[in-house]
Amino acid sequence: MENFQFMLLVLLVIFIFCDQIIVHSQVSFEYVRPPPRSIIATPDDHPESHPQQVHVSLVGRDHMRVSWVTDDKDVSPKVEYGKIPGKYEVSVTGEHTSYRYFFYKSGKIHHVKIGPLESDVTYYYRCGGVGKEFSFRTPPLSFPIEFAVADYDVLLLPGDLSYADTQQPLWDTFGRFVEPYASRRPWMVTQGNHEVEAFPVIHTHPFVAYNSRWLMPFEESGSNSNLYYSFDVTGVHVIMLGSYADFDAGSAQYKWLVADLARVNREKTPWLVVLLHAPWYNTNTAHQGEGESMRKAMEHLLYNARVDLVFAGHVHSYERFTRVFDNEPNSCGPVHVTIGDGGNREGLAMMFKKPTPPISLFHEASFGHGRLRVLNQTHAHWSWHRNDDYDSTVGDEIWLESLSSIQQCKETLQDREQPKSSNFEL
């Protein structure tokens, strides 16, 4: 852990999380949002053999997956890459897939796992042997790391993604829209309800487009489903849960989560972060109670593991809670953050329950994004930023301390009486 000196980890997420609260803002003010823009369209003007919708994701400690789509079915799923622009020292051939959805037939979807890669290095790459050159930077080996939308290392996205809602060409529009960002840094995602796209009898398989296009490292984390998985990056263990996969005790997801949490080594990954779609804590009137069944089934697992932060999406607003377990403030529970305010055509979720429960510390109905800076193995800074502010301003912020470094919480790990509201900071 000596490498952790002066370490800075910044997690910037379109939707995000944190730990022991040292400082926080309780200031909220009325914000008048401009009227929504029309739906963004991205034209398909690529030559048929050229790559489009390029995005990269983390696979294990030192590999990345490059994913893209071509209209031409004869293009090879091949990635050439190297550390100098235009000089590709390595060529790797991967796999490909496609899918049908009623009358829509997808392009050829390529997935190529490349590596081993060096940490904190910019690689230049080309997809399918044609088209323009892309580049990405690998995350650092040790802190600092940054998850962000602008200058960042890894993006965390707890759904929804495209809002295609069965209109499959919108998946392609979304892929082209995010390519300038998703091809440069790994995007790690989990699914939302808008990705289900299933109908009784006529199209019973859910998540066909999502699973085909956004292949995440589930096999590498011992999961049997692309809908839930985990990964380590720079001292952080990130768990992506599936709000729309079975989660009750006895389910495959539940058993996998138990096994995954048992494998976490807080010496190697002192920070433990969970993302899911439907929030377990929510005082907005929108989607009220939708995460409650999953909370009742799984919350004790996260609490016993001393999860630092839980990020959720789904509710088109921002809300941050105190450390909580079973609806009570708890100094060894995770901080829950709803950051479902990345933007969508449905508009914002404006209405919050009144009076505000004391576990809810801040809420605001504005589109925005979050940034988590993990400075070292013990401390991190979480901030939330409105997207519509002309200048980058902080709408909400707190300092956190990892539960792995708090003696009181370390000593009570695993199957003990739940400490009730002692010594917590609101």
Contact positions vs Fe ion (CB under 5 A): 160, 192-193, 314
Smallest gap from Cβ 243 to Fe ion, in A, equals 8
Smallest gap from Cβ 192 to Fe ion, in A, equals 4
- Give the CA-trace dihedral at 231, 378, 274, 118, to 10 degrees: -20
Q: Which two tokens stand for residue 139?
A: 């995350």
Q: Which CB sits closer to Fe ion, 136 or 228?
A: 228
User: Residue 258: exposed, middle, or buried by beta-carbon count in 10 A (0-12, 13-18, 19+)?
Assistant: middle
Calpha distance 346→350 (Å, rounded): 12
Q: Where are the beta strands (DSSP E) in 116-192?
A: 122-127, 134-137, 146-147, 155-157, 187-189
Euclidean distance between the first and final Cα of the chain, in Å? Answer: 30
Nearest C-alpha neighbor of 118 from the set 174, 64, 72? 64
Smallest gap from Cβ 349 to Fe ion, in A, equals 11
Contact between 196 and 207 (Cβ < 8 Å) = yes
Catalytic residue among 46, 110, 111, 287: 287
Q: Classify each residue of 12-39 as buried b or exposed e, where b means 16 or more C-beta atoms within 10 Å of its C-beta.
A: bbbbbbbbbbeebeeeeeeeeeeeeeee
Instruction: State the angle between helix axes of 292-304 and 252-263 in degrees (0 to 180), rounded to the nearest 10.
Output: 20
Calpha distance 365→348 (Å, rounded): 6
**Could you identify the residue written with the tokens 């060409």?**
169
- The alpha-carbon radius of gyration of the chain (Å, integer) is 21
Q: Which CB sits closer to Fe ion, 314 or 363?
A: 314
Q: Which CB sits closer to Fe ion, 292 or 328?
A: 292
Is 194 known to be catalytic?
no
Catalytic residue positions? Answer: 287
